[in-house]
Amino acid sequence: MSNKTLTLMMGLVAFLILAVGAVFLVVALGGSGDDDSQPADGSTQKTPGASGTSTGSTAKICESKVLIVPGDEPLAPFDPILVGDESTAAYIVEIFGGLVTLDRNLKVVPDIAESWTVSPDGLVYTFKLRGNALFHDNTRVTANDFKYSLERAADPANASPTVKAYLGRIKGLEDKLSGKATDVSGVKVVDAQTLEITLAKPEPVFIQELTYPVAFVVKQSQIEQDPRNWTRKPIGTGPFKIVEFSPAEKIRLVRNDRYHLGAPLLEEVVFELGGGSISTRYQNDEIHIGFVPALNLKDIEDGKSDLSKEYVPVPQMAVSYITLNPNQAPFDDLKVRQALAMSVDKASINDVLLYGYYRVADGILPPDMPGYKESVSGFKYDIDAAKKLLSESKYAGNFPRIILTYGGSGGNSPETLVAIQDGWTQLGLDVQLQAVDSAALLREQRRGTFQALSEGWIADYPDPGNFIEKLFGSDSPLNYTKYQNADVDRLIERASAEPDDAKRADLYTQAEQLILNDAVTIPMFWPVEHTLIKSCVVNYPSVSMAIPKYRYIDIDPTK
Amino acid sequence: MGSGVLGYTLRRVLWAVPVLFVISVMVFYMLRLAPNDPVDAILGRNAYQEDVANRLREKYGYDDPIYVQYWKYMKNLAQGDLGLSTQHQDFTAGEVIWPKIWTSTQLNMFALVIVFGLGIPVGVYAALARGTFLDPLAIGGWLLLDAIPTFVMAPILIWLFATQLGVVGLTWEGPYSTNAILPILIISLPGVAGVARLMRASVISVIGEDYVRTARAKGLKESTVIITHITRNALLPMVTVIGLSLPGLTSGSLFVELFFGIPGIGRESLAAATTPDYDVILAIVLFGSVLFVGANILVDVLYGFIDPRVRIGAGRGG
């Protein structure tokens, strides 16, 4: 009896150990076999058992009107005037609203303003507010709320990092910002439903900039009652209300039934901030939106995978590039810059190192940007021409060492940079890579002390000026290398005053080509978000910018 | 001399104060002297303006000399205020870390139960099977699990149980859902071998004792001998091991948290260190130090209870 119990116990433990061992053996063998066979036949990735469970639970996440998506951790509080980053702006545009907004085609459309008129001299904008626009607490939005919100943004005590860049064109705003005035003279309440904004100079891009969060309307009484913590449950006017925010865990937005542009179709949007294994969770039917791992991209693009029909490439309004600082030797020599621009084999880097994940950038403006022209082109890959240019350079035979600095986010991956380094070394140059943390990168950018820098830029609003003027205009604070080309400046100035979109785009195109010829920047890639979207999710807008998008989306269990 | 346990405890607690002071000063200065700047991280590239940056430095007090900042921090700390998070700007450092520490702690408690619940019987079994091939097999099997790094084990188990078998999900729904089983297993399985080997050694040392032989000679059932006489006595040294592993309960498991999207303190520590989020880092480090120092005092005091020589030796000077 006693021996029997003992034997049983021993047997159980041994069984447990063997079972675990066997599982690992099976997994190890199965795993390696799978890796080898995958390129040949990617579609048989799932076993019958898995597809059986997946159809069952697909129905489950498609049954309710709750959309579950991976989200980014907001970097700023939910206060429209403090938002300078894309990830926070994505939430702000759903919770708050302003006079105007962007639709899914990136056109400026009315939001709380029903309509607006511009005076013939282009200086005075008169906005007629709609009567049915409500805050989340069901109080009416009036012109006074906008005056309060815009002046709050301009209050230097609130330290808005974006007010100068986006609302600086309003007359008198700079005075308020520098403490010279107590109100913004250019913002006038005509009556409860009419707001008049006067600009310092006629600049049509102003209406685009009004779609940015810093121009959104906030609830005065809430802020005054709870100045420290109101941003946790902010009262906005947007299509969704925030009901939960647990840092690094999740954000939950619920539908605003009384939204003036039509209540959203979804009941709730859940942003999972935890990260985790996104693509596995997507395949496991736990979230509606997933991302394609680089290794599987070819199969999915070629239609060889189960996931191909759920695949949607979302082009980003962004560009990654290498900046060559014209104030640092040897890049003060145009020939050296051009030679380096010619010796980066972008196409091979993308195909071989990055599995074709990006689009090779010929120019600065991404193709989906309004005003993009295919005719704009940087230097083509040509090592021989590059060598010839270098031999004509004033540094010929005596090149200083080149340090290519990188770090943070938005730039190129380290393996890409090694490939760039390789290309430049072929020219006989001594090239070093230097990694810095993201804060240090920002400092190097600001001080303009670097020789060459790997960086990236994401559009704030869909206008070419956001790239060309912000990065290369000689008086833009973001032009860190103090690059200056009088022709470029002239074109930018003409463009910002040009009311006709096509003509403005044309002027920016000319400026862009001049900048590329100067080779102060080597555009590398236009990133693409290779997204997977469950088939029951309809109307998911394929725009990566922070525009209100969840009110259009629906979950249709029949699809 | 009036020492006794109380006096001894008091002395030990008083000694902890300078220890914690030195730790706090060192961490505080190291953070402030490091080259990265939280204001850079808050504003990022698009929004950086010198005047806005200066206002933020003022708000968080970064414009003061470091010793002034330290003094202010300590004053606030004495009132239970851990400061503000710069990475999660809507939250205080306390609001950021406490829920995350609690999440990690709950996971670790489950894991602790598994580690000892499996490790102790495996150790007993291996000791009893000494001399047969089953002994090295039992221990070796668990050592194998110990040898597999978390970042290898996690994707394998995810692939097997979540993707292929579909028995668990990967969405984090709190420590009391079935989705927490995988992370708990991954945290606990590597720890079993260590406990099992300790237990095995302990059982082997007990097995030859006179009272075991006596028990068998009395004709007791073998199971009674194993459970009451051998295992119970062999468990004594395990109490110390369990006690010493308690402070570790509040620490996070970074890889597991990353793979499963768990809002635990491991991921938060990483994010705080890279941002950098001064007050959150300080809060995490100070909490860990207090816990560690406290656990050491507790162990020493308990030893003092058990063995009077310890407290008399330590009390000589006072």
Say yes or no for a CB contact (<8 Å) between B46 and A85.
yes
pLDDT tens across B100-142, in order?
999 999 999 999 999 999 999 999 999 999 989 999 998 998 9
- Which pLDDT value is given to residue B42? 78
> Using a CB-CB distance cutoff of 8 angstroms, which residues of chain B are in contact with residue A157?
55
- Which pLDDT value is given to residue A143? 96
**What tokens appear for A211 in the block?**
């779609």
| Shortest alpha-carbon distance between residue B263 and chain A (Å) | 5
Cα A485 → chain centroid? 28
Q: Could you give the C-alpha distances from A441 to A52, A438, B157, B272, B277, in angstroms and in order?
A: 49, 5, 38, 18, 18
**What tokens appear for B290 in the block?**
């207090």
Q: Could you give the C-alpha distances from A74 to A125, A236, B264, in angstroms and in order?
A: 33, 17, 18
**Cβ–Cβ < 8 Å for A208, A462:** yes
Q: Which residue of A has its CA nearest to B170?
A: A281
A317 by Cβ neighbours in 10 Å (0-12 / 13-18 / 19+) ranks as: buried
| Shortest alpha-carbon distance between residue A467 and chain B (Å) | 12
Say which of A76, A275, A477 has its CB closest to residue B261. Answer: A275
Q: CA-to-CA distance for B55 and B62, rounded, in angstroms?
A: 10
In sequence order, which residues have a C-beta less than 8 Å from that of residue B79 and are 6 or more positions away? none
> Using a CB-CB distance cutoff of 8 angstroms, which residues of chain B are in contact with residue A440?
35-36
Q: 10 Å Cβ neighbour count for B122? A: 25
The helix (H) or strand (E) run that includes residue B194 is helix B181-207
Q: CA-to-CA distance for A451 and A457, rounded, in angstroms?
A: 19
**Cβ–Cβ < 8 Å for B32, B66:** yes
| pLDDT of chain A, 559 residues: tens digit per residue | 456 666 666 666 666 666 666 665 665 555 443 333 333 333 333 333 333 344 444 558 899 999 999 998 888 889 999 887 788 899 999 999 999 999 988 889 999 999 999 999 999 999 999 999 999 999 999 999 999 999 999 998 888 888 888 898 999 999 999 889 999 999 999 999 999 999 998 888 899 889 999 999 999 999 999 988 899 999 999 999 999 999 889 999 999 999 999 999 999 999 999 888 888 889 888 899 998 888 888 888 888 888 889 999 988 889 999 999 999 888 999 999 999 999 999 999 998 888 888 999 999 999 988 889 888 999 999 999 999 999 999 888 888 999 999 886 556 778 899 999 999 998 889 999 988 877 777 778 878 889 999 988 888 778 888 899 889 998 887 888 889 999 999 999 999 888 888 899 999 999 999 999 999 999 999 999 899 999 999 998 877 788 889 999 999 988 7
**What tokens appear for A446 in the block?**
């600001």
My answer on whether omega of the bond before A48 falls inside 30° of 0, hence cis, is no
**Cβ–Cβ < 8 Å for A541, A396:** no
Q: Could you give the C-alpha distances from A332 to A236, A335, A341, in angstroms and in order?
A: 50, 9, 14
Q: CA-to-CA distance for A447 and A405, rounded, in angstroms?
A: 13
**What tokens appear for A119 in the block?**
């005076």
Say yes or no for a CB contact (<8 Å) between B99 and A478.
no
- Which residue, chain included where needed, has tokens 């859902």? B177
Say yes or no for a CB contact (<8 Å) between B159 and A31.
yes
- Which pLDDT value is given to residue A7? 65
| Shortest alpha-carbon distance between residue A131 and chain B (Å) | 33
Say yes or no for a CB contact (<8 Å) between A442 and B122.
no
Question: Quick one: angle between helices A465-472 and A501-518, nearest 10?
Answer: 40
- Which residue, chain included where needed, has tokens 């570790």? B248
B120 by Cβ neighbours in 10 Å (0-12 / 13-18 / 19+) ranks as: buried
Question: Quick one: angle between helices B278-306 and B265-274, nearest 10?
Answer: 130
Q: Which residue of A has its CA nearest to B93?
A: A247
Q: CA-to-CA distance for B297 and B295, rounded, in angstroms?
A: 5
Q: 10 Å Cβ neighbour count for B306? A: 8
**What tokens appear for A10 in the block?**
């021993």
Please state whether beta strands A124-129 and A187-191 pair in parallel, antiparallel, or not at all (unpaired).
Answer: unpaired
| pLDDT of chain B, 318 residues: tens digit per residue | 445 778 888 888 898 899 999 999 999 999 988 877 888 877 776 667 778 888 888 888 888 899 999 999 999 999 989 998 988 888 999 999 999 999 999 999 999 999 999 999 999 999 999 989 999 998 998 999 899 888 888 988 888 888 888 888 888 888 999 999 999 999 999 999 999 999 999 999 998 889 888 988 998 888 888 888 888 888 888 877 887 788 888 888 899 999 999 999 999 999 898 888 999 999 999 999 998 888 888 877 777 776 666 555 554 443
- The model's pTM is 0.83
Q: Which residues pair with A313 in a beta bridge?
A: A530
How many alpha carbons fall within 13 Å on the CB side of residue B158? Answer: 24
Q: 10 Å Cβ neighbour count for B304? A: 22
| Shortest alpha-carbon distance between residue A395 and chain B (Å) | 33
Which residue out of B45, B172, B226 would a mutagenesis test of the A interface target, given it has the greatest number of A Cβ atoms within 10 Å?
B45
Q: CA-to-CA distance for A174 and A49, rounded, in angstroms?
A: 65
Q: CA-to-CA distance for A343 and A420, rounded, in angstroms?
A: 8
- As a whole number of Å, the CA-based R_g of chain B is 25
Q: Which residues pair with A432 in a beta bridge?
A: A403
The helix (H) or strand (E) run that includes residue B287 is helix B278-306
- Which pLDDT value is given to residue A11? 66
In sequence order, which residues have a C-beta less than 8 Å from that of residue B157 and are 6 or more positions away? B182, B185, B186
**What's at A167, amino acid-wise?**
L
Q: CA-to-CA distance for B302 and B5, rounded, in angstroms?
A: 9
**Cβ–Cβ < 8 Å for A508, A465:** yes
Helix (H, G, I), strand (E, B) or coil at B167: coil
CA dihedral (A141, A142, A146, A149) positive or negative? negative
Cα-Cα-Cα-Cα torsion A508, A509, A511, A514, nearest 10 degrees, comes to: 170
Our CA angle for A272, A278, A280, nearest 5°, is 135
Say which of A78, A84, A284 has its CB closest to residue B44. Answer: A84
**Cβ–Cβ < 8 Å for A144, A129:** no
In sequence order, which residues have a C-beta less than 8 Å from that of residue B166 and are 6 or more positions away? A49, A50, A53, A54, A57, A284
**Cβ–Cβ < 8 Å for B110, B188:** yes
**Cβ–Cβ < 8 Å for A450, A325:** yes
**Cβ–Cβ < 8 Å for A389, A418:** no
**What's at A94, amino acid-wise?**
E
- Which pLDDT value is given to residue A53? 40
> Using a CB-CB distance cutoff of 8 angstroms, which residues of chain B are in contact with residue A445?
45
Say which of B40, B156, B260 has its CB closest to residue A27. Answer: B156
Q: CA-to-CA distance for B223 and A4, rounded, in angstroms?
A: 10
Q: CA-to-CA distance for B318 and B12, rounded, in angstroms?
A: 12
The 8-class DSSP code of residue B69 comes to H
The 8-class DSSP code of residue A200 comes to S
A to B CB pairs, distance under 8 Å: 183
> Using a CB-CB distance cutoff of 8 angstroms, which residues of chain B are in contact with residue A160?
52
Say which of B125, B159, B170 has its CB closest to residue A9. Answer: B125
Q: Which residue of A has its CA nearest to B148?
A: A24
Say yes or no for a CB contact (<8 Å) between B59 and A159.
yes
Q: Could you give the C-alpha distances from A457 to A387, A448, A483, B243, B274, in angstroms and in order?
A: 30, 17, 17, 53, 22
Please state the domain extents for chain B.
Answer: 2-78, 95-274
B133 by Cβ neighbours in 10 Å (0-12 / 13-18 / 19+) ranks as: exposed
| Shortest alpha-carbon distance between residue B91 and chain A (Å) | 9
Q: CA-to-CA distance for B76 and A443, rounded, in angstroms?
A: 31
Say yes or no for a CB contact (<8 Å) between A248 and B271.
yes
Phi, psi at A437, each rounded to 5°? -75, 165
Say yes or no for a CB contact (<8 Å) between B263 and A274.
yes
Phi, psi at B259, each rounded to 5°? -70, -35
> Using a CB-CB distance cutoff of 8 angstroms, which residues of chain B are in contact with residue A10?
125, 128-129, 134
Q: CA-to-CA distance for A557 and A555, rounded, in angstroms?
A: 6
> Using a CB-CB distance cutoff of 8 angstroms, which residues of chain A are in contact with residue B253?
none
Say which of A10, A47, A84 has its CB closest to residue B47. Answer: A84
pLDDT tens across A437-461, in order?
777 777 788 788 899 999 888 887 7
- Which pLDDT value is given to residue A12? 65
Q: In three state form, how does the secondary structure of B257-278 look?
A: HHHHCCCCHHHHHHHHHHCCCH
Helix (H, G, I), strand (E, B) or coil at A533: strand
| Shortest alpha-carbon distance between residue B285 and chain A (Å) | 19
| Shortest alpha-carbon distance between residue B144 and chain A (Å) | 9
Q: CA-to-CA distance for B125 and B137, rounded, in angstroms?
A: 11
For domain B95-274, give the CATH superfamily: MetI-like (1.10.3720.10)
Say yes or no for a CB contact (<8 Å) between A160 and B52.
yes
> Using a CB-CB distance cutoff of 8 angstroms, which residues of chain B are in contact with residue A78?
90
N-to-C CA span, chain B: 7
